Amino acid sequence: MAQAHPHVFVDVALRFLSDEQGHLTGVEVTWSYDDFFSLLVLEDRGLDADGDMILTDEERASLMGFDLEYWEPGFEGALFLYEAGHKVHLGRPEATHAEMQGGRIVTKHIRPVSPRDLTELTVRPYDPSYYGALDLKKISGLPEGCDAEVLEADTQAANAKVEELGGVGMEAVYDEVQVGIFYADEVRITCAQSS
């Protein structure tokens, strides 16, 4: 069985942001990169020259937003929200944090949305090209009365789909077909209607 091979592994945490009226206003996204990719980024950017995995304030500032630099026009990022089957428009990401934790780069950014009542929402964090494998680890910030069900990706079914499309080792297939969605975790959020 062919399997897609991502180049970066990222643990994801999502924190839902609300205003005082309880309207959803955005999602804070935390990405924790794998050790190897983190090391490559540090070397490529000339950071942490002493190799102690502790960054100075200046180095942290230099790292801030590094993963948001190359957003081409029309690129939607790696977070997708659907409300009643319709895609929710997310604003451009706003970098808020970058640091090292246990040898891994950890960044945070916010994806704003126009304020809306949170009643039913489907959330998928994934890289469409599957260059990066995103693994959802934590959800927080849901308003009172909201529940979240996490459906983990079925990797066997995803691998079968990739094989059907041409198999492993064909990077062009991943870019053209955007196989990342087949490996995407899904969060289904439902909230009690206020009376």
Q: What percent of the chain has pLDDT over 90?
A: 64
**Tokens, residue 58:** 């200046």
Beta bridge partners of 135: 11
d(CA 21, CA 127): 32
Model pLDDT for residues 124-149, shown as the tens digit of each residue: 999 998 889 999 999 999 988 899 99
Write down the pTM of the prediction: 0.89
**Tokens, residue 102:** 């246990």
Model pLDDT for residues 71-93, shown as the tens digit of each residue: 877 788 999 999 988 999 999 99
Please list, in sequence order, all residues whose beta carbon lies within 8 angstroms of the beta carbon of residue 39, skipping any fewer than 6 positions away.
Answer: 103
Q: For the CA atoms of 69, 107, 81, 78, what is the dihedral angle to 10 degrees? A: 50
Total count of residues recorded for the chain: 195
Model pLDDT for residues 13-49, shown as the tens digit of each residue: 999 999 988 899 999 999 999 999 999 999 999 999 8
Instruction: State the amino acid at position 1 in one-letter form.
Output: M
CB 18 within 8 A of CB 24: yes
Q: For the CA atoms of 95, 99, 104, 108, what is the dihedral angle to 10 degrees? A: -20
- DSSP H/E element including 103: none
